[in-house]
Amino acid sequence: MQIDDLEYRLIRSLNIPYMRVKIRQPRLSDIDDESVGLLRYSSYKSLFTLRKEHLNMNEELIDITKDNSFFETLFIIDDYYMKQGLIDRVPFIDMLIMSLIFFLDVNVDTDKISKNVREKYIGIFNEQEQPIFILSNDNFEEFSELIRIICCCNMIEVESDKPKNPYKNESLRRKFEKIQRQNAEVEAKKRKENEITIADMIGLIGINEITKYKLNQDMDNLTIWQLNYIYNGMFVRESNEFTKMQFCSYKFSFEKTPSFNWIKETKVKLPEK
């Protein structure tokens, strides 16, 4: 699909054609549904944002999966814990299947979704057992990128390794570890303060005078992508309006010429052309 066509479909809240299926853009009304909710929606998109380092594998699994991709590793982990009878959570592949049901235009009454652990793929088949869609190692990264785009989320960063304690003296070691903990707490607090949630965007759009939306009104049919687009545009426009006011006054600094076409700066991340 061409990037221009993708952007058009995103802004028009249309389904995204992919192979023989269509990726459904989640709307606020989908999240409002009692069977979904914000927590479950977050779980549906989570596996498309993670890396192998986030899977909390023991040393044996790390060694077993060192040459495998993230997608292949999900199958291996499920199989490993299943064989040992240690699984105490929803298996990763079952989580992926639930995500596919949510994001794809799948008829759960007629279409069949199954996993093949040996060949490592998830298949969607019609009533005649013909494949409609196969999610495998060959297309998982591409499919994941599309999910991240429509959900306006990025890959979760991997925390960098903590520096080794260079001190042998016990008192100095404790002081070094204390400073590390304090720094980690400060960074975590900064991330929390800078995090913008769906609720934050809804609230700020709802109380902003330049948008037509009001709290709890007219927002149900907005997709997550549209919500981010409106939120970004709202602040870009306000920033440009303020800059134009400065531009027309003696207070303006001519070091930076303002952009009078604010909509061009209203961008939500898309792949490179």
Determine the pLDDT at residue 10: 92
Q: At what angle do helices 70-83 and 140-151 cross, to 10 degrees?
A: 100
Determine the pLDDT at residue 90: 85
Q: Average pLDDT, whole number, for the chain?
A: 81
- pTM here? 0.76
**Residue 138: is its pLDDT beyond 70?**
yes
Partners of 209 in the β-ladder? none
- Which of 102-111, 204-213, 226-235 has the lowest average pLDDT? 204-213
- Cα→Cα distances 85→61, 64, 80, 146, Å: 15, 18, 9, 35
Determine the pLDDT at residue 263: 45
How confident is the model over 143-157, as pLDDT tens digits? 999 999 999 988 887
Determine the pLDDT at residue 87: 72
Rg (CA), the chain: 23
Q: Cα separation of 28 and 37, whole Å?
A: 10
